[in-house]
Chain A
């Protein structure tokens, strides 16, 4: 199975900060990488697919990029609603795999 290594596991930041979360795939997944946001007690919500495509309705402060097997989620200016847990997921091949998650906390 493809392993997804996500970092950091926890990130403390302030409103207005620019933050980045990284995911590295253990083998090539092309651009078949998605990012999800999850709030406590809720289902995950798709933010980014195909490494850099913004899902409809997601604010433009969210962006994704790819450099080889390394993928990055960037939030350009943190808003209060953005404090949540973020997961990457590869869908290049079954079994799909998720990163371990990054909890974004208020500093």
Chain B
């Protein structure tokens, strides 16, 4: 059974940094691209970032480009998202999701989400 478990969320002040983790199990992690998707309170879904299975390609939404870094450790079956220069508008539940291909697939499994609150 595929399982994705996010951690690392919490309260941060504007300008601070935060690192989210997503522990994966139940599938061959290195074979699949992974994405981060966020959802601000009461709002819709926003794709944030993706990384290929081999980690040789990364992609970012304009809203976080230059302020975030996606990475993965295939030996630990773990996905990461480093968020820097946090803004109030980064407040959201962050979901990690497994893509169905090594790169560029639909999101077939999702974690339960980690809440990031940016507030002074």
Partner of B62, one of A1, A38, A96: A1
Q: How many A-B residue pairs have CB under 8 A?
A: 61
B110 cross-chain contacts in A, Cβ below 8 A: 43-45
Give the CA-CA distance A69 to B46 in the complex, in Å: 21
**Contact mask for chain A residues 30-72; partner B; CB cutoff 8 A; 1 contact, 0 none:** 0010101010001111100110000100000000000000000
In angstroms, Cα B106 to Cα A87, docked, is 13
Chain A residues whose C-beta falls within 8 Å of the C-beta of B45 in the assembled complex: 36, 38, 44, 87, 89, 98, 101
Chain B residues, Cβ within 8 Å of A12: none
Give the docked Cα–Cα distance between A80 and B104 (Å).
34
Tell yes or no: B8 within 8 A of A by CB.
Answer: no
Interface residues as binary, A3-34 with B (CB distance below 8 Å gives 1, 0 otherwise): 00000000000000000000000000000101
- Interface on chain B toward A: helix, strand, loop, or mixed SS? strand
In contact, B47 and A49 (Cβ under 8 angstroms): no
Interface membership of B117, Cβ < 8 A: no
Kindly state whether residue B102 has any CB partner on chain A within 8 Å. Answer: no
B29 close to chain A: CB less than 8 A: no
B108 CB–A CB distance under 8 Å: yes
Interface of A with B (CB < 8 Å)?
1, 32, 34, 36, 38, 42-46, 49-50, 55, 87, 89, 91-101
Instruction: Kindly list the 10 A-B residue pairs having the minimum CB-CB distance in the complex, ordered from nearest.
Output: A94-B59, A43-B110, A96-B47, A34-B106, A49-B106, A98-B45, A101-B44, A95-B61, A46-B108, A91-B106
11 contacts between A and B (CB under 8 A): A38-B45, A43-B112, A44-B110, A49-B108, A55-B108, A89-B47, A89-B106, A91-B105, A94-B104, A95-B60, A98-B46
